[in-house]
Chains A and B, each alone.
Chain A
Amino acid sequence: MSKGTLFDKVWDLHTVGTLPSGQTQLFIGLHLIHEVTSPQAFAMLRDRGLKVMFPERTVATVDHIIPTENQARPFVDDLAEEMMQALEQNTQTNGITFYNIGSGNQGIVHVIAPEQGLTQPGMTIACGDSHTSTHGAFGAIAFGIGTSQVRDVLASQTLALSKLKVRKVEVNGKLVPGVYAKDVILHIIRKLGVTGGVGYAYEFAGTTFEQMSMEERMTVCNMAIEGGARCGYVNPDQVTFDYLKGRDAAPKGAEWDKAVTWWQSIRSNADAEYDDVVIFDAAEIAPTITWGITPGQGIAVNESIPTPEALSENDRELAAEAYQYMDLAPGTPIQGTKIDVCFIGSCTNGRMSDLREAAKVAKGRHVAEGIKAFVVPGSERVKQEAEAEGLDKIFEAAGFEWREAGCSMCLAMNPDKLQGRQISASSSNRNFKGRQGSASGRTLLMSPAMVAAAAITGTVTDVRTLL
């Protein structure tokens, strides 16, 4: 049993009581909703004659279904339009703040809440989306929930949950140039496996995370769920406070000082007890890329696709399925694999620092012939800021398309989709079969800079050769 960690402190503070089942009733400080997983929850609420208990603790945006080219209403896709209208109506009827398209605040739910200062240390945060773990970057306990649980939070601002164990995932040292936060988390998932984190919250600790910016920490926490951990977090520090200061929903004046004192106090104690500890060395992490059909099937960019003999017996069956689906042969180098589509965006890597790193690679170069490459900012604010810096011009001059904010081809619920067996270099977080809109489409996950490098050369390329 963990003791004295941030997770323990935040959990205890938010505990309402123990339910007859033995589970904890946990108060949720911030509830984020979007168009895909909320309409059925509002319907369930209506069916039971319940009201939203704390409407001011829920914030809505629209991200998954929105087109990134023509956003004129009504949407071309009737079903998308219907979902949009349901969200508009549900938020209006229930007095919930909704950041709609054109508000200047719309974007991927896990991008907008941090950038507006809604996400803060010490909070419990829930959202009907598994990548809610992103918000843990601030030292919040944040996790994804299903629709029935969205209903529970709307109705009671609480959830019935069993406490997680806490694993400290420590990475120490400096990352070499060309290695990014994305590579760190892909490396961790590769080593601990996609189920390694089931039942755990991951505390990301060590000098590597301490040196990371908030955006980098968000990339890491975002993918905790891909390692099976429902939430991941970093203890709040000066980097966190500097990021938050002055943001719309951040405390101001005297309250700011009180807040910082409190945030300091919820950090894991130096003598905290963990259920498990694992340690990695940053110097050993190379640009990492997935070759298969789960985020755990990753290798360094200069490695070859593992042969069955090189894998543990447990992993061979899935590897066999992956060789076939991906049409990649064991033993061949991943570098040089031909790419069709390049996607930069998503809640993993659709923020300013991601676009800046990709733009550095794209600048003064051109997308290889026959490659479709596009950049989708994570939010309206990211888009605006990127344009103010001229990143859009760099990308467009290099042959990338520059789009409106949304989830886009991360899960392809909107018109952005792979076609047939196309293979994509993607900065997103999932490479499952069919994830990017074609039942036979293929995805290689990598950092945004690596995606830009792939776009320029038309093949999987070690970005370090282009820096």
Chain B
Amino acid sequence: MNNVIIEAQNLNKSFGDFQAVENLNLKINRGEVFGFLGPNGAGKTTSINMMVGLLHPTSGQVFIDGNEVQQIEKGTIGICPQELVLWDYLTCRESLMLMGEMYEVPGDKLKIKVDKLLDGLFLTEKANTVVSQLSGGMKRRLNLALALVHEPEIVVLDEPSEGLDPQSRRVLWNYIRSLRDDDGKTVILTTHLMDEADRLSDRIAIIDHGKLLRLDTPSNLKKETGEGDVIEMKISNPEKNQEIISAVGKMEEVESVLEVDGQINIRALDAVSKLPMIMDELEHLRVRVVDLSVRQNTLEDVFIDLTGTGLRE
């Protein structure tokens, strides 16, 4: 069996003058959780929609298991959209049964599957409650269940934990992991939550302005941007930030220096041992440190490093 389940070749999509996706090439492996990371409006949803056949690309092709996406059997893919896509006047069970019937899941098998989903996503108690009376978290979980009722091989989750409380998020994350580990599904996850991408994904594609910037495992990505830790510091006179950045940047021991939200982020291996040296340099420049902390390098640093700090809409 071919290990690659989805392959996008030279995918382009433009809406008028706006190039939403530019020359996207990627391969997604069977049974992995593949994270799509990017700021708002980076082209994540557009890319996903093309990859599952909901949107025609302007040019390029998508192959699912070697077949063109438009030719594949319906039901290969299950999509959990970013918005809540539910029928307000149907109950949880009715919604799931409807989708199962639409995918032609045999009746007896469908009933078992629906019960299992309701149970797995903690919705059994609300099985016969109409959707309009569910809480936000329950609606999110039902939104996910609807994408899974026909047991698709590929599950696409578009920002699944948007607006969820930490408890619900935990339930969701565990469920996503079980999809991969227990059911062997391929999961495509789009998110702008670094934590989510980091914890769940086997590999991450970082996309911005419609272009694929990086594609690797979370640990490799973190390594690539700079191994080690991050020193975050605030100085009493921020107008000297640039002076410090250029001075510290010249130090051999330092991997990179960046200004983020008025504070200086210095990345260095074994940062704690480099701290005295950096402090010496600051003293030399006659600046006073107001706040200082040392933390581990995160995916967010990689992300900000690649996509910048400009606000996106």
Partners in one complex: no
Which positions in B face A, CB cutoff 8 Å?
Answer: none
